[in-house]
Amino acid sequence: MKSKTEYLFFETPERRALVNITGRLEKLVAGSQVQEGLCLVSAMHITAGIWVNDEEEGLKQDVMDWLERLAPVADYRHHRTGEDNGDAHLKRTLMHHQALLPVTKGKLDLGPWEQVFYAEFDGRRRKRVVVKIIGE
Amino acid sequence: MKSKTEYLFFETPERRALVNITGRLEKLVAGSQVQEGLCLVSAMHITAGIWVNDEEEGLKQDVMDWLERLAPVADYRHHRTGEDNGDAHLKRTLMHHQALLPVTKGKLDLGPWEQVFYAEFDGRRRKRVVVKIIGE
Amino acid sequence: MKSKTEYLFFETPERRALVNITGRLEKLVAGSQVQEGLCLVSAMHITAGIWVNDEEEGLKQDVMDWLERLAPVADYRHHRTGEDNGDAHLKRTLMHHQALLPVTKGKLDLGPWEQVFYAEFDGRRRKRVVVKIIGE
C-alpha cells in the first residue's frame, strides 16, 4: 500500500470564498503514483468545508446566498467567547467538511462536471486542508 | 491490496426519486472478494446524491418534502445558463453526494435499518454512480 | 494492509446529545498500529450522526437549536408507522452520519480545533457506531 499526505494552505482575502482546487488535487494524485485508491480531502479548520459541484459562477453565488438563508449571520451563543463566526460553523456543517475522491488508473475518477472546491466561511487568515491518498 | 471499481447507471422516469441500491452494492462487495475494507459510493452527476437511511415509504416522502422546503424550486442565477435545475444542486448538497461503507468479513457492515439510496433530483436522463471497493 | 474494526456503544439519558468521542478514537487508532491510513467513523442507527467541530458549549447549543429550526419536531408521515422520531432522521441527514479521519504517523491527523462528536437525536436506547481503521 502506498500513501501520501499533503497539506494545502489558504488565506482568502474575502471572508467567504469558493476556491476550485481540482487541478491541485490532480497534481497531488499524479505525484503519489497511486493507480487505484482513495483521496481524502478534508478541511482542518472548523469554519471551512469541501464542496463537490459545478464550476459555474451563477450557481456559486446561488449556493452562498442559500447558505446565508439557512445558516445566517446572527447573534449566536458561541459569540460569548469573543468569536463572531457562529454562522461559519453552521455553513461548514451544511456543506460538509470533506470529500473522498476515487483514484482510478492514476487519475481522479470524477464525473464530467464534478469540481472540488475549498469552501471558506471565515477567511482572511491562514487555514489548512489535509489531502491523504492511499492505494496501490 | 485489492481494489474493484464499478459504475451503476440510472435513468429514472421521474425527475426526483430515491432508489434503494443496497442489494446491488452487496453483490459488488461479494464479487470484489474484499474481506476487510471500504466501499465508496459516490454520485458522479452534480444533481444527485447518496443517502443512507430507512426503507420506509412515509419517511422517504418526508425527506423529499423537507428538501423542497429547504432547497425549493425557484428562480436561481444558475438558470441564466439555460439550466432549470438549481434546486437539484442544492438538494444534492443537503443530502451529500457520497457515502463510505465499511466491509467486514466480506459483507457490507451496515446497521439494522441502514439502507443505501441513490437520490435523484434531476432525472429522466442517464446518470452514473461510481462504486470503489478497496481492502484485502 | 492492516485493518481494525471496533464498535462503540451509546445509551444517552437524553433524547438529544453531542458526545465527544475524540479520545476514544485516538485510543483505537493507537491500538490498531496503523501508521498511515484512514479511520471511518459511522453511526449505524439512522437517527444519529457524526459531527466534526468545536468543543465549545455555546456552539454545541447553537447547532442543536439550529437543527431544530431546520428539521423541527413535527407531524411526519413516518409517524404513521408508530414512530415519533421523523425529525431525528432529518437531523442525521443535515449533520451527516459519518466522518473519515486521516491517520498520519500513527495518530489522528486533525486540525487544532477539530473534535469528533457522536450526535444523538433519538437516545435513551442502546445504539452503535462502527469504527474501521485501514492502512499500514
Kindly report, residue by residue over B76-135, the tens digit of the pLDDT: 999 999 999 999 999 999 999 999 999 999 999 999 999 999 999 999 999 999 999 999
Average pLDDT value for chain C = 98
Give me the mean pLDDT over the B37-45 stretch: 98
> Domains in chain C, start-ordered, CATH in brackets?
2-135 (2.60.120.460)
**pLDDT attached to residue C124:** 97
All residues of chain C having their beta carbon less than 8 Å from the beta carbon of residue B94 are 93-94
Strands A17-20 and A115-120: antiparallel
Cα Rg of chain B, angstroms: 16
Average pLDDT value for chain A = 98
All residues of chain A having their beta carbon less than 8 Å from the beta carbon of residue B135 are none
All residues of chain B having their beta carbon less than 8 Å from the beta carbon of residue C132 are 38, 102, 104, 109
What is the rounded CA–CA span in Å between residue C99 and residue C42? 7
Partner-chain contact A77 C59, CB within 8 Å: yes
What is the rounded CA–CA span in Å between residue A87 and residue A71? 6
**pLDDT attached to residue A51:** 98
In the numeric block, which cell numbers belong to residue C91?
437531523
Give me the mean pLDDT over the B45-63 stretch: 98
Kindly list the strands in the beta sheet with C17-20, ordered across the sheet, starting from the edge strand earlier in the chain. C17-20, C115-120, C48-53
Partner-chain contact A102 B42, CB within 8 Å: yes
Partner-chain contact B1 C3, CB within 8 Å: no
DSSP letter for A47, please: T
Pick from B122, B124, B125, B131: which is nearest to B47 by CA?
A: B122
**pLDDT attached to residue C42:** 98
Contacts with B100 (C-beta within 8 Å, 6 or more apart), sequence order: A100, B38, B39, B40, B41, C40, C42, C98, C100
Query: Cβ of A77 under 8 Å from any chain C Cβ?
Result: yes
- φ/ψ of A9, rounded to 5, equals -115, 145
Pick from A38, A47, A34: which is nearest to A105 by CA?
A: A34
Query: Tens digits of per-residue pLDDT, A13-53?
Result: 999 999 999 999 999 999 999 999 999 999 999 999 999 99
Partner-chain contact A59 B70, CB within 8 Å: no
* Helix B86-95 with C86-95: angle, nearest 10 deg: 100
| ipTM score above 0.95 | yes
Strand extents, DSSP E, chain B: 2-10, 17-20, 37-43, 48-53, 98-104, 107-108, 115-120, 127-135
Give me the mean pLDDT over the A3-11 stretch: 98
Shortest distance, CA C93 to any CA of chain B (angstroms): 6
Terminal C-alpha separation, chain A: 5
**pLDDT attached to residue A21:** 98
**pLDDT attached to residue C88:** 98
Shortest distance, CA B97 to any CA of chain A (angstroms): 8
Partner-chain contact B77 A94, CB within 8 Å: no
Query: Cβ of B94 under 8 Å from any chain A Cβ?
Result: yes
Pick from B128, B133, B95: which is nearest to A110 by CA?
A: B128
- φ/ψ of B68, rounded to 5, equals -65, -35
**pLDDT attached to residue B30:** 98
Query: Tens digits of per-residue pLDDT, C36-88?
Result: 999 999 999 999 999 999 999 999 999 999 999 999 999 999 999 999 999 99
**Would you say B63 and A33 are in contact if contact means Cβ atoms under 8 Å apart?**
no
Pick from C120, C121, C114: which is nearest to C99 by CA?
A: C114
**pLDDT attached to residue B15:** 98
What is the rounded CA–CA span in Å between residue B2 and residue A71? 42
